[in-house]
Amino acid sequence: MNWPDRLQKAVSARGALLEGREMPRLKQQFEIYLAAYQNIFKLFLKKGLIQEDPYGYDEKISEVTLPSSSEFQESEKQNQMSQRLSFLQTQIEFLNTYYQFSLDFLDLKRIKKMSDLIDFIYWDHLSGAGANVVSRSLNEYVGRIKLGTDSLSSQIVHETVALLGKTTSQIKSILKAMADYQRECHKLEVRKIVLPRLEAGLADQESRLKAIRELFPTLMEGSPFYPELIQEILAEDFSPDGPVLREDVLRKLQTASGKPAQAEKASRREMLLQAVRFMASSGFQLQDVVNKMEDNHLVLQSSRTGFLERLRRFFKRLFGGGAVHEMYEIEYMDSASSMTRAETVHYLVFIEELSRKAKLFTALTDRNSSTTRKLMAASDPEILKFLDRNLESLSALHRRITGFNDHFRKEIAKLKQGKYRGLKVELSSIKNCLIKARHARYEYSAGLEEQEEMKKLGIKPEES
């Protein structure tokens, strides 16, 4: 098989691998990044380190743009950081919502924008010196929280920064693989369209480069001209080192990129168990939620024990033959539609479900418990089924706890008596557990999907 045909086959195989495996993975990584960024952004707001952006950046966004990285005075820090971090969040939200995660859409220009955006903050090595002013200021903010007396916030910021650093590394690895692929696609197109039109008598590289530059605007109208890629084509196709360079190109294209299962020292099973452990770490927060909700519920009930309420309960027991069922009408934001939804929830049933889940997850944090031993003895598909079922359940619980929290806050405020016990800290911690568990679960699935894609391409996967 000649060089053009071998190159075409290698490019097609790499494209199929990237489209089938890396595009979904890239989208997932950006979703994780956004959720983690929103988490730490809210924490900075809560601690008063930044403020809600007064400008809001409501203008219509048509393409990803970087926040300013220019230096500012110490007196301007809070205002500038508030604006820049808010602007960055808006850009990441735009990318997650409007970018198409496909090879056709993500050309070299957009890949560069994504790379610049993800590199704007050096999460993997925040430093007080040398980095851009935003990273330096963030390093200060993180340090303040870690050295503060709020141990929970310290833990949250530590884990979130670590997650952002790891996610940044994963995204950059995928973007590099995509950029390498798009470079070879561009070079292949030049070979097909422009090189055949070169005059046969051109003997040196400078003459060929000049001729390609002149032909390019007409033959490849609308395509950007990359001088460094043209130089690579000329070296690979016409220089004495061409055969070696061509084999190097083929070898890079045939090497599977971004292997999550091999990047981790742990086996895929260990990654699956790690996802369970992340999820189970929410058990203590769930128990705290139960205790606080019981207190809030009692405050509301104590305000409703007048004569008419006692009479209602009497007739309920007399004719219904059972306890009074407390129903709550709660509201929550549907993330899929961004609309407010209402739901009627049986309080006692919900509290019992919360308590059961808290006990189950707490037991899973004890490596010597019978629950943990039973899980360890299960097969990977059984553990995955258990994980997915409980992640879905935990997500629903988180949504309802949010609704109850808003309901209790409003109703107890109306009473002007009794103390409302907020659940924001617990909700933030549970959300963090969900993010980390889903991330680990995705890494596990990505490894399995990678094996299947490699088998389809005739590549024997390495054992993990």
Q: How high is the pLDDT of residue 240?
A: 87
Q: How far is residue 135's CA from residue 141's CA, in Å, rounded to a whole number?
A: 10
Angle made by CA atoms 27, 32, 34, in degrees to the nearest 5: 95
Q: How high is the pLDDT of residue 222?
A: 87
- Of the candidate ranges 108-117, 225-234, 236-245, 451-460, the one whose mean pLDDT is the lowest: 451-460
Amino acid residing at 425: V
Q: How high is the pLDDT of residue 59?
A: 59
Segment 153-208, tens digit of pLDDT:
888 888 889 889 889 999 999 999 999 999 999 999 999 999 998 887 777 888 88
Average confidence score pLDDT of the chain = 84
Amino acid residing at 169: S
Helix axes 380-415, 268-280, angle to 10 degrees: 20
Q: How far is residue 173's CA from residue 228's CA, in Å, rounded to a whole number?
A: 22
Segment 421-432, tens digit of pLDDT:
888 888 988 988
Q: How high is the pLDDT of residue 267?
A: 65
Please provide residue 258's backbone torsions phi and psi, each rounded to the nearest 5 degrees: 55, 55
Place of tokens 């070879």: 184
Q: How far is residue 95's CA from residue 89's CA, in Å, rounded to a whole number?
A: 10
pLDDT over 70 (residue 145): yes
Q: Count the Cβ atoms, other than its own, within 10 Å of residue 458.
A: 7
Q: How high is the pLDDT of residue 87?
A: 92
Mean pLDDT for the stretch of residues 409-413: 86
Mean pLDDT for the stretch of residues 116-123: 91
Place of tokens 């990318």: 95
3-state class (DSSP) for residue 121? coil
Short-list 12, 413, 366, 325, CA closest to 184: 12
- Of the candidate ranges 95-109, 167-181, 435-449, the one whose mean pLDDT is the lowest: 435-449
Q: How far is residue 38's CA from residue 91's CA, in Å, rounded to a whole number?
A: 12
The one-character DSSP state at 330 is E
Of residues 96 and 54, the one with the higher pLDDT is: 96
CA atoms within 13 A on the CB side of 373: 3
Q: String of b and e for 117-127 (b: at least 16 CB within 10 Å)?
A: bbebbbbeebe
Place of tokens 């950029």: 179
Q: How high is the pLDDT of residue 112?
A: 95
Q: How far is residue 280's CA from residue 286's CA, in Å, rounded to a whole number?
A: 10
pLDDT band at 257 (very low <50, low <70, confident <90, very high): very low
- Of the candidate ranges 18-22, 302-306, 393-397, the one whose mean pLDDT is the lowest: 302-306
Of residues 312 and 440, the one with the higher pLDDT is: 440
H or E segment to which residue 210 belongs: helix 205-219
Mean pLDDT for the stretch of residues 371-395: 93
CB contact at 8 A, 361 and 280: yes
Q: How many helices (H) and strands (E) does the chain have?
A: 17, 2
pLDDT over 70 (residue 416): no
Mean pLDDT for the stretch of residues 405-425: 83
